Structure formats: structure tokens, C-alpha cells
Amino acid sequence: MLYNRIVSFLTKYIIAVLLPLAAVAQAKVPPYEFKPVEIKFSAGFTGLMNDPTHKNGSDLVYKYNGQLFDKTDGELPSKADGFDGTTKRSTPWETLGELINAYREKNFDKILSLYNLTTQDQLIALLAGDKKEKFLNHVSKITKAKILAGFEYKEGILVIYESKELGISSCYMLKKKKKYVLASFNDDGPEAWNLSLYFKFKPEPIAVPLIQTPIDSFGSTETKRIDFKLNKANNFITVCGDKLGQAVLYNIKDNSEYDLNPEPGVVGIDFNKTKSAMPKEYTLYIAETNYPLTMVSEPILKAAKGFTFKVYKK
């Protein structure tokens, strides 16, 4: 009898005390651990702004005191994890966690309270009338958010995060009296733009696709199709010459409107007289990336594979 009472008590204790404590533990935001970090990527991205200050050869190199998260880290807690939407705001991640929770709940007053006074006035003016409702309907779509990175940037912290519903987003924070508050961020320079683009595509190592339908030659007035088998579906195929800084000949995404082969993971390209005007032997280079490219860079040429064909007069 006594044994049963002890078991009953322990069961109730686990349910009433330990399980809620476990939920609280799950609700913790990621640790705040800034240290020197470096981000390096090809300057040949489509959409990148020119940034000579951070240019190093054919790459852009950015160095900060900050924090980078991998695929498994950086997820912000939600109510399902036991998060009640309140923190000490003692780290940028705590403040961001409160913001995302306020987005989900469409709590405009809470959203405003997370910003400094100057930005609060700007938001009220910007979201006047029915704009506020449209804004809340939009941001409340977020189910889960993940921090990608944070950096010391100018006088504050630049944070880049993502959600499945809204994609890549960024925010800016200032530290006021041991708390992090959100603030407006007006920066027309290339640095923040290029970093956001980098995190949007998350560049993977350059690969070499397989040429499924190789050609030896074709007439100067003919069109020949070459199909390229990608290592990963939805990647980009790049065809280029060997001159650094020169525009690439083709940069086509799998399953895009310019892909002439409807098979997933295979990109079809027509080679014709517009790309090979003079009858002679040509050597071109192919590479596969998960991001778009506009110009030939050293990393592309190092990883690319050459293929040769002849164009004869016809």
C-alpha cells in the first residue's frame, strides 16, 4: 500500500513539476556567443552590389565579430516549445524571439514595444490605416524562424534570419541599458545587401555536371542541344569561357523557363551561331552551383570542366 502511494506521488510530481520544467528548458533561445568570423564567397553572384572595400581577387571577404549558425542550430522557440513570448531581452536572440512570437500573435503593441522610440513613431506612420492589418496578416504566417547569423555592424547588431513562409529577413538592434531593442536600419551600401544575398543562396561547393549528349561538331547555321545532368536538382548550370571577369555565356537554373529539358535534374541548352559565330574549334567550361553567376571567376575556372567542339562553315 505504501509503495503504491509513493509511486502515485512520484507520478503526480513528474506530471505537475518536472514536465513543465522540461518545457521551460526547451523554450530557451540559442546561446549568444560572438567571436571573430569570416564569410568568403565568389563576387560573381547575380545581384551582388560592387564592394571594392571587401574585394579580394575574385571573392568578397567579410570579417566581423559575430555568430554563424549551422543547419541544426539557431532555431527560435515557439509556444509549442513552451515559450511564453517574454525574455529579459539581454541578447539579440531573446529580443528576436519576442518579435517572432508577437508576429505570430498579431500583437502590434508588443511589436512596437520592442523598438526604440524613434522607430516606433516611424512604424505607426508607415502602417497607418489598413496597412497595419495587412502587415500583421503577412508576418503572422511565420510558424518557425531560424537565426542564420548576427554581426557587430556599425553601432549595433545586424541579424539575419529566415522562415519557410517569408524567406530571408534581417533586422537591426541597439543595446540600451543592458537590453537589446530593435531599430530602423537605413543602409544603402553594398555590405548588408551582399550578406543577405549570400545567406539567401547559402553557397555550396562548386560541382561539375555530366554531359549527357556530347557533341563533336556542328554547322555554323545549325543549332545543337546539349543536356547536362546535375548532381542536385534545381541547381544552376554555368557555361563560360576562360577569361576572368568576362560575362558567362549561359547561367540557367534547372526547371526554369530557359531550361529546354523538362526532366528534373537535367538542363538542356541550345548551342547555335549566336554563341559560336566563327567557324573554328571552341573550348568552353561548365560548372554547377546552387546560386546564379554573371561573370567568370577564378573559383569557377578551378572547379569547372572543359569540353571542346568544332563549328564548321555551313
Q: What percent of the chain has pLDDT over 90?
A: 66
Q: Chain-wide mean pLDDT for the chain?
A: 88
Kind and range of the H or E run holding 19: helix 19-26
Domain that holds residue 39: 28-201
pLDDT digits (tens, 9 = 90+) for 111-169: 999 999 999 999 999 999 999 999 999 999 999 999 999 999 999 999 999 999 999 99
The CATH number of the domain holding residue 168 is: 3.10.450.50
- Pairing, β 236-240 against β 156-163: unpaired
Domain end residue (candidates: 170, 201, 232): 201
Residues in the chain: 314
In a domain, 79, yes or no: yes
pTM here? Answer: 0.75
Q: How many structural domains are present in the chain?
A: 2
Domain end residue (candidates: 158, 177, 201): 201
pLDDT digits (tens, 9 = 90+) for 25-84: 446 899 999 999 999 988 877 788 999 999 998 789 999 999 999 887 999 998 888 899
Same domain, 74 and 126: yes
In a domain, 19, yes or no: no
Same domain, 197 and 270: no
In a domain, 132, yes or no: yes
106 burial level (CB within 10 Å; 0-12, 13-18, 19+) = middle
